Amino acid sequence: MKKYTLILTLILLVGCANYILPTAKELQDEGIVNETSEIQSIIRARNNLTNACLDCHRVTYPQELSKQGWERVLPPMIQKARLGKQAMDDIYFYIDKTMQCVELRKQKELEKQKALEMQQAQSAN
Ligand code: HEC
């Protein structure tokens, strides 16, 4: 039973839970960004990803491509969206911070799961 809950949690974690577009506020609350300039960069990136990039296809989430994948895909997409270098730097920064956020949440979720299992094991005694 315990094994099943752990496996289920892992499936959820590597599945939909990864596909997020965290807001500047969320990244701030997680302690991932702090400075005003960083927050402004996040806001611009998220705006572009949910507006300019949506002219031609659905939103693409940071986690859908690897870092190398993004480095290959983003420059031509920036051109397609008629955006500039600032927008590109913003989006790279946002991708990086989103990955950090995903990792952090995964870690927290696993710790919560472990604590829960410890509790269950103790109450079984
Ligand atoms: C003018 C239309 C247009 C705009 C604007 C646009 N895209 Fe695209 N995008 C495409 C087309 C067409 C494809 C599929 C063919 C290709 O790769 O060129 C694509 C494919 C992609 C892919 C998948 C590529 C792969 O190889 O897996 C990603 C990721 C992507 N776009 C991200 C973005 C992002 C981020 C933006 C905003 C900066 C953006 N796109 C803006 C037209 C656009």
What pTM, to 2 d.p., does this model score? 0.85
Cα–Cα distances in Å, from 58 out to 22, 49, 79, 88, 90? 17, 10, 17, 18, 19
Beta-carbon count within 10 A of 46 CB: 19
For 1-18, the DSSP string reads -HHHHHHHHHHHHHTGGG
Q: What is the CA radius of gyration of the chain?
A: 18
Tokens for 45?
């990136």
Cβ < 6 Å from ligand 1: which residues? 48-49, 52-53, 55-57, 60, 65, 73, 77-78, 80-81, 83
Give the SS3 label for residue 80. helix
Top mutation candidate among 57, 92, 94 for ligand 1, by most atoms within 8 Å of CB: 57
Range of the domain at 43: 2-124
What pLDDT score does 12 carry? 53
Give the SS3 label for residue 43. helix
Give the SS3 label for residue 61. coil
Structural domains counted in the chain:
1
pLDDT tens column, 9-51: 555 555 445 788 999 999 999 999 999 999 999 999 999 999 9
77: CA distance to ligand 1 center in Å?
A: 5
Nearest CA to ligand 1 atom 29: 60
73: CA distance to ligand 1 center in Å?
A: 7
55: CA distance to ligand 1 center in Å?
A: 10
What pLDDT score does 19 carry? 86
- Please give the angle made by the CA atoms of 94, 72 and 53, to the nearest 5 degrees: 55
User: Which residue from 88, 108, 84 is spatially nearest to 17, judged by alpha carbons?
Assistant: 108
